[in-house]
Amino acid sequence: MMIGVCVALLLLAGNVQGGKKCSGNPLMYNGKLCGSTTRYHDSHKGACGCGHGDTPFGWNQNNYVAAANQMFFDSGRRTWCGSKCGHCVRLTTTGGYVDGQGGPTRGGESKIFMVTNLCPAVDPNMAWCAQSAAPWDGGANTFGYAYHFDLENGGHQIDRLNWNNPEVTVDEVSCDGHESMTPTSGYYSQCECH
C-alpha cells in the first residue's frame, strides 16, 4: 500500500511541478518565448472597446480574453485601440509558475486567448506589465518574462481550467477555427477598435 502511494506521488510530481520551467535570457521553454499570467475580472469594455457603453459584451467577460502587457498591446504605448487588439495568442502552460505568485498547473495545456484589453504599466501592475520593450525586442517584466497576460475570469472560465497564474509559452495565431470559448474575428468586428 505504501509503495503504491509513493508511486502515485512521484507520478503526480512528474506532471505538476512548481517554480519556473523557463530559463535563459530571455526566458524560453522548448525554444519559445515565455510569458507570465494572472487573472482578473473587469466589468468594463476594455481598451479595445468590446462592449456597449462601458459594459463588456458577454463574450468579453465570459470567454478566453486577455489584457496584454503594454509593450505587446502596443509598442508605441497607445492605451486605446492598441495594434494587438483582436489578435489571438496560444498560451501553453509549462508546468511552472512564479514562486509566491501562482501554483501548480499541469504543463502542456494550450488555450487560445483574444487580446481585448490592456494591462497598463502603472501601479499595481508594474511588476507584471511594465516590460521596457516589446517581446521581440528583449523586453522583460520584473519576473523576467517577455509577455504578460492578465486573463479575464468574469465567468470563472480560468478557475474551471484550474490555472493558477501559470507560466506559459506564447504563439500568435489566428482567432478563427478554435474551441467555442475563443472569440472569433467575427466577435471582434463588434468592437470599437476593429
**Which residues are catalytically annotated?**
42, 150
Pairing assessment for the beta strands 88-97 and 110-119 based on DSSP bridges = antiparallel
Secondary structure of residue 156 in the 3-state scheme: coil
How far lies 61's CA from each of 70, 87, 108, in Å?
20, 17, 25
Strand partners, 33: 28
Q: Amino acid identity of 150?
A: D
CA gap 143, 99 in Å, rounded: 10
Secondary structure of residue 150 in the 3-state scheme: strand
